[in-house]
Amino acid sequence: MRISRPYFLAAHPVTVGQFRQFVEDQAYHGGKNYQTEPERDGQGGWGWNEVKKQFEGRKPNYTWKDVGWKQEDDFPVVNVTWNDAVAYCMWLTKKEGKSRFEYRLPTEAEWEYACRAGTTTSYFTGDNTESLKGYANIADASLRLKYPSATYAMDFDDGFPFTSPVGSFKPKDWGFYDMHGNVWQWCSDRYGKYDKADNKDPQGAKEGDLRVWRGGAWSCDWGHCRAAVRSYVDPARRDGYTGFRVAGSTSRTP
């Protein structure tokens, strides 16, 4: 794959505080707060039941506002669908108005290029899974302590059983945080095979209902957090480990 056009990518996933600004912009939403798909369809999302010590969903009480554990403004927003992520990007583009930036979800190729940061190893930290310590919020001893069924978790303790504030872990050379772990991130692409003849600025499959997920999450083992891992999910998916980050391009005219 070859990326021929410059683009911008947010240093970290969209936070709860940033998403709240979007939700509460009533001037943009016709005098009302924006409601996410989990709220509109009444099904809710997934979350953690501290009393039962288990994950559960879909349930109406779990949304981006409440996922069952403490989520402050600097935590990545979760329980948002692909459409919710796209709506946020559209709002941000209009909010800046005179800016020449068009905000959007990154393509899968753009996401992986940024994640690798010039490396060719399994992770931008190398091939050794232990190299992720200090760089990635993945399934670890703190999760296993909360949720003993997470037998696949790493032995080291990163201090966060669930999500962590963005920027809590070290970035690689290009300054991107949480490319491995913390939350899965929506990409713009439909999931499918790439046309080998069309390897310049690939946009993904032309047809299909599923969308691409990248990066792994706090709930994942080391294998799911590799730079090359492609996951495909229903765009209506909502849970406590799915978020997104924003990309930007200068394709808009002045």
Could you tell me the residue ranges of all domains in the chain? 8-249
Contact present, 67 and 79 (Cβ < 8 Å): yes
CA distance 25 to 31: 8
pLDDT per residue of the chain (254 residues) written in tens, 0 to 9: 888 889 999 999 999 999 999 999 999 999 999 999 999 999 999 999 999 999 999 999 999 999 999 999 999 999 999 999 999 999 999 998 766 679 999 999 999 999 999 999 999 999 999 999 999 999 999 999 999 999 999 999 999 999 999 999 999 889 999 999 999 999 999 998 877 777 888 787 778 899 999 999 999 999 999 999 999 999 999 999 999 999 998 755 44
Q: What's the first-to-final CA gap in the chain, in angstroms?
A: 30
pTM recorded for the entire structure: 0.94
Structure tokens, 134:
């200090």
- Residue 6 CB burial class (10 angstroms; 0-12, 13-18, ≥19): exposed
Tokens of 207: 């047809």
Does the domain spanning 8-249 belong to CATH 3.30.1510.10? no
